[in-house]
Every structure is written in structure tokens, then in C-alpha cells.
């Protein structure tokens, strides 16, 4: 006799590049495991019980997972270490068990593994121009190295989102420091820049150009 059961819920797991993730099966001791078959886009592993008191026997069935898989002797939870970005995807565990009455049951559990990289410190770059009415216009762009999906950007104190903001300042504007925060599901990192200093640099350049122009005009009058 046998029966098939499928857990329709897909459990989402968040993994960190280079670290370890655990797929929780939490098999009860009362369940007599015959074997567990793990698959993803490729085959992953074939698990059978160990000898009395010994750890389960693990047969890695694809070279991508060689030396990276471990199985708990307590509850058959599967661990993948040294995570890679390409480990992301859907994983399926077919758990074959037998009752004391000899009834075989297959239970299927599914997981969606998403692997993310810890974000480094973002970098803020800027482009500037100054209008004739002494208003300083600043475009700030925030970015992180090796950016992948699910990275979001926010700016304080403006409360804006997105990696690009445009601001304008006059000599009477309040002194502000703009902070960009980059975030993904596992980490966040920030960088700040003073808009006052940016505009001061532009104003200095403008004053230099004006002085040069006045000097040139004075030279013409002396000729």
C-alpha cells in the first residue's frame, strides 16, 4: 500500500552568497524514512538512513553540489554551504517514508531559494551646473558594484526613492547632507554627500570665470 502527499506551499528561503542555507524538512522520529530524493533544475542528492545511530548516507548526484551538502541526523534537514548565485531556484524534496504497518508514503516539499550578495558601500556621483540667477542644480546618482536584482535605493532627508535625484540650491538654502541607502533582502549600506560643498565648488569655479572675464575687459580698456 502507498500514498502520495504534496505540500502545495512553496517555502521561500533567503541565502547569502558564500554562506550556508538550511532546507527545513523537520521529519519526526516516528516517521521511518526510506529515502529522500532532492531535485532542482538538475538532480541534487539522494539520501538514505545511516546504520543504527549513524548519520544519513548522502549521495550527491550533481557535481555542482560536490562537497557542499550536509544532512542533519536529527531531522534530515538539508544544508548547502558556500552558496553560489546560480544555486537560486526551485528545489523539490520527495520524502519516501514507511509506517510500522508497512504503508509507504511519498510527501513532496518545495522550496524557492533566492541567493543574494551582501551590498558594498554605494558610491554617489554628481553632475553640476549653475544658472545665471545663482541657483545651483545638482544631479546625484547612487550605485553599488555588482548590482543584481532586488536592490532598492532611498534618499534622506528627502524621502525619495530611486538611484537618481535632482536638487536645486540657492545661497540661502539650508545646509543639508544627502544620504543614499542601498538595500536588498539581506543587507543595506549608505553613503553621504554634502550638497553645500558641491555648490561651493561650482560657485568657486563661477567666480574664477567672472574674475577672468573682468580682467580681460580691463585689459581691453588699457589698450
In 3D, which of 107, 171, 119, 127 has the Cα closest to residue 145? 119
141 with 107, same domain: the answer is: no
DSSP labels for 145-183?
A: TT--TT-EEEEETT--BSSEEEEEE-TTSPP-EEEEEEE
154 with 110, same domain: the answer is: no
Residues in CB range of 22: below 8 A, 6 or more apart: 13, 77, 78, 79
Instruction: Report the alpha-carbon distance of residue 127 to residue 220 in Å, rounded.
Output: 35
Which pLDDT does position 4 carry in this prediction? 53
Which pLDDT does position 63 carry in this prediction? 94
169 with 90, same domain: the answer is: no
Which pLDDT does position 14 carry in this prediction? 96
108 with 132, same domain: the answer is: no
Question: CA angle, corner 114, sides to 110 and 120, nearest 5?
Answer: 165
Which pLDDT does position 169 carry in this prediction? 80
96 with 159, same domain: the answer is: no
DSSP tag of 90: E
CATH number at 151 reads 2.60.40.10
DSSP tag of 34: E
Binning the chain into helix, strand and coil, the percentages to the nearest 5 are: 15, 50, 35
Give the CA distances from residue 42 to residues 9, 10, 67, 184, 211, in Å, rounded to whole numbers and listed in that order: 21, 18, 16, 27, 70
Instruction: Report the alpha-carbon distance of residue 223 to residue 220 in Å, rounded.
Output: 5
Look-up: residue for cell 528545489? 91
144 with 84, same domain: the answer is: no
Which residue, 68, 95, 116, sits at the end of a domain? 116
Which residue, 56, 85, 116, sits at the end of a domain? 116
129 with 148, same domain: the answer is: yes
In 3D, which of 128, 130, 176, 137 has the Cα closest to residue 155? 176
Count of structural domains within the chain: 2
First to last CA, the chain: 112
99 with 147, same domain: the answer is: no
**Three cell numbers written together for 195:** 550638497
Which pLDDT does position 66 carry in this prediction? 94
Range of the domain at 147: 123-222
Give the CA distances from residue 163 to residues 83, 106, 150, 155, 205, in Å, rounded to whole numbers and listed in that order: 28, 48, 13, 8, 27
Determine how β-strand 89-98 pairs with β-strand 104-116: antiparallel
26 with 53, same domain: the answer is: yes
Which residue, 116, 132, 151, sits at the end of a domain? 116
74 with 139, same domain: the answer is: no
Instruction: Return per-residue pLDDT of the chain as tens, 223 residues.
Output: 445 555 668 999 999 999 999 999 978 777 789 999 999 999 999 999 988 778 899 999 999 999 999 999 888 999 999 999 999 999 999 999 987 777 888 999 999 999 999 999 999 998 766 665 778 888 899 999 887 778 999 999 888 899 999 888 877 777 888 999 999 999 999 999 887 667 765 544 443 333 333 344 444 444 5
SS3 23: strand
56 with 129, same domain: the answer is: no
217 with 161, same domain: the answer is: yes
pTM to 2 decimals?
0.75
Which pLDDT does position 220 carry in this prediction? 45
Which pLDDT does position 130 carry in this prediction? 63
Amino acid at each position: 500500500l502507498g500514498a502520495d502527499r504534496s505540500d502545495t506551499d512553496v517555502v521561500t528561503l533567503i541565502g547569502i552568497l558564500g554562506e550556508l542555507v538550511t532546507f527545513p524538512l523537520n521529519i519526526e522520529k516516528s516517521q521511518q524514512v526510506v529515502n529522500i530524493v532532492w531535485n532542482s533544475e538538475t538532480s541534487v542528492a539522494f539520501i538514505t538512513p545511516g546504520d543504527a545511530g549513524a548519520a544519513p548516507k548522502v549521495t550527491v548526484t550533481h557535481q555542482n553540489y560536490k562537497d557542499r551538502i550536509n544532512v542533519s541526523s536529527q531531522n534530515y534537514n538539508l544544508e548547502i554551504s558556500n552558496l553560489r548565485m546560480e544555486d537560486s531556484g526551485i528545489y523539490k524534496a520527495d520524502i519516501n517514508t514507511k509506517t510500522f504497518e508497512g504503508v509507504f508514503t511519498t510527501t513532496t516539499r518545495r522550496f524557492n531559494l533566492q541567493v543574494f550578495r551582501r551590498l558594498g558601500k554605494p558610491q554617489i556621483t554628481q553632475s553640476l551646473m549653475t544658472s545665471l540667477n545663482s541657483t545651483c542644480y545638482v544631479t546625484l546618482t547612487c550605485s553599488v558594484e555588482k548590482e543584481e536584482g532586488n536592490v532598492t535605493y532611498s534618499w534622506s532627508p528627502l524621502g525619495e526613492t530611486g538611484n537618481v535625484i535632482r536638487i536645486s540650491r540657492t545661497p540661502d538654502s539650508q545646509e543639508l547632507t544627502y544620504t543614499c541607502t542601498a538595500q536588498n533582502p539581506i543587507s543595506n549600506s549608505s553613503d553621504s554627500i554634502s550638497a553645500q560643498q558641491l555648490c561651493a565648488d561650482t560657485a568657486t569655479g563661477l567666480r574664477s570665470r567672472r574674475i577672468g572675464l573682468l580682467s580681460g575687459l580691463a585689459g581691453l580698456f588699457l589698450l
